[in-house]
A and B are shown apart, each in its own frame.
Chain A
Amino acid sequence: MNRIDRWFLEHAAPAFIGFTVAGDPDPETSVRVANTLVDGGVDILELGMPFSDPVADGPVIQRADQRALAASTTPDAVFGIARAIRSSSEVPLVLLTYFNLVLNRGIERFYQDARDAGIDGVLIVDMPVEESDGVRAAARASGIAPIFLVAPTTSAARQDAIIARASGFLYLVSVLGVTGVRDRVAEETVSLIRRVRSRTALPLAVGFGISEPDHAAACCEAGADAVIVGSAIVDLIERHLDDEEGMMTALSTYITSMRAAVEKEYR
């Protein structure tokens, strides 16, 4: 069974999903960042594959992509980072990428390489479900969960089309816009969780703009099965570029506090 499916089957508590850009600030440190996130209590790890034109990402993650690319983080290097994480952990791994990187490598080869690197799910940020037959076939053949975004503007009909084609979990975009840290969980986020919850039993993971323990708790209370934290983690990396030990300590402290918020909600 896919590690993502197994995680949600075996755990009744909401999952805490942490995101980092593979190769940020460089491939070697990036493996250490990932291991620190996992040791700190991340249940599922999302790795971003750095892309030159990450149109769905805000400035924090754009800068991380640029740092990773400057450190020669090719897709080959990203799969190497995934293998290094996998060598010491059974944490479910989800890869976030943009379609040109998949197409360039060859769709089938991309998914085979992802599977061989121990990756469990792939989210292609700029791939609408309507165009996804080819990538879903390749994902299925490699045992990888195809993960899709659902936005507050996604119509009920498209929600159903996505639900019918996704597996692993649904990635709910909590607010309109790009990734980035925001002040609070919007009313529209809570309403989105409730609307999608009524249509599917797939796990619901909420991301884009979640950075504080209160946000995580509010999403879980509304019925989310997981919260995704990205920009806040990447921001901590950026603040400690000259101090690797300080980076790891800061990440560890932050993850512990977020983890506690998710667990408190469950109790």
Chain B
Amino acid sequence: MEALLELEGAFARAQADAAFQRSLSTILTEYAGRPTPLTFCTNTSRNLGCRVYLKREDLLHGGAHKLNNTLGQALLAQYMGKTRLIAETGAGQHGVATAIAGAVLGIPVDVYMGATDIARQGLNVDRMALLGARVIPVHSGSRTLKDAVNEALRDWVASVEDTHYVLGSIVGPHPYPLMVRTFQSVIGEETRAQCLEKEGRLPDVILACVGGGSNAMGMFHSFIDDPVRLIGVEAGGEGLDTGRHGASLCAGTEGVLHGALSYLLQDAAGQIAETHSIAAGLDYPGVGPELSHLTHTGRIEAAAVTDGEALDAFGSLSRHEGIIPALESSHAIAHALRIADQLGPDDIMVINLSGRGDKDVGEAALRGGVSG
């Protein structure tokens, strides 16, 4: 608790500190490559009969939106005088982004990663090692993302005096959901300005994939008070009726995991369920508390896409736009393809392309998602 109170105080001070904000802005622009483009998709727009844009977080340094948050938190760690970073990772994108932030700012990084995820995300494991981070395999529980979070929390309670825990999504105890959403909100702020500039108005519908929900809330936050349809797309895995999925908003019930109240996948007694998704970054039984609340109130729609549909969308965007999306982001694309017939030719759809798919090419090939 004391660590969270310390973090809450430091985050509030940093938010009001012009020097801190300047450092963050500079590193996001000159190092990470912001702003990322809002790309009009000519071919997909023609095929779907509406105006389709991609917010290109795949072009952010590191290949995913994760760096927005890790640079922010690593700067905050320096601000607090912490000399070591730890992180959890699922697909490895957050681990890589933390390793990048640690490398550029000169802070040692330890990353907890489930043994199952290590086996299926070899490229990112090697990238983290190359970037100087130590990857610690987690063999407990389902050996995926939630177990990596458990292990990182265990490390942190023992090392809190010199260590900052760089949580990668809008989950966990306060102030993490607020802090991570704040660092990711640059996605929605840019999208808003870029859409106004290109189209003279806001989009009609925005889609983002949801695991914990950081790219989704980062995108949605700037549009909460606008008449824009916001859709979070979850991992339907092998289908919601099979129980093998990661769709907490669509199929979960209220519960508390890792210090936050949200929708959770759990059994009748409250034991946390094991989840499944083709996309390791969506393989998490909870979801951010703010996203849960906004779904509960009806402001945000939740949908689920199966492994197979995501794989089809992965291939489709690659062939039609020359952009290989992460399997996580492919969920948002798949649902966009599904709802396009609800839109007219002048309607504007924005899909948050949260990451690039190089890391997934091997997995997709194994499942026959590369040919044809």
Contacts and interface: CB of A to CB of B under 8 A. Distances in A.
Contacts of A126: 256, 259
A105 B268 CA distance: 9
B255 A103 contact: yes
Nearest to A51: B271
B140 interface: yes
A29 to B, nearest CB: 21
Given A69-B271, A126-B259, A153 B2 contact: yes
Interface of A: 51-56, 58-59, 62, 66, 69, 74-76, 99-101, 103-105, 126, 128, 130, 151, 153-155, 158, 175-178
Given A62-B140, A178-B158, A103 B270 contact: yes
Contacts of B153: 55
Contact of B269 (A104, A154, A175): A104
Counting chain B residues whose Cβ lies within 8 A of the other chain, the interface size class is 20 to 34
Contact of B157 (A51, A99, A178): A178
A153 B7 CA distance: 14
Interface of B: 1-3, 140-141, 146-147, 150, 153-154, 157-161, 254-259, 264, 266, 268-272
Nearest to A69: B271
A76 B269 CA distance: 9
A154 B270 contact: no
Contact of B150 (A55, A75, A155, A175): A55
A58 B271 contact: no
Nearest to A105: B270
A176 B160 contact: yes
A104 B270 contact: yes
B154 A178 contact: yes
Contacts of A58: 154
A151 B154 contact: no
Contact of A154 (B1, B254, B255): B1
B272 A103 contact: no
Given A53-B141, A100-B264, A177 B270 contact: no
Contacts of B146: 53
Contacts of B2: 151, 153-155, 158
Contacts of B160: 153, 176
B177 to A, nearest CB: 15
A101 B270 contact: yes
A52 B271 contact: yes
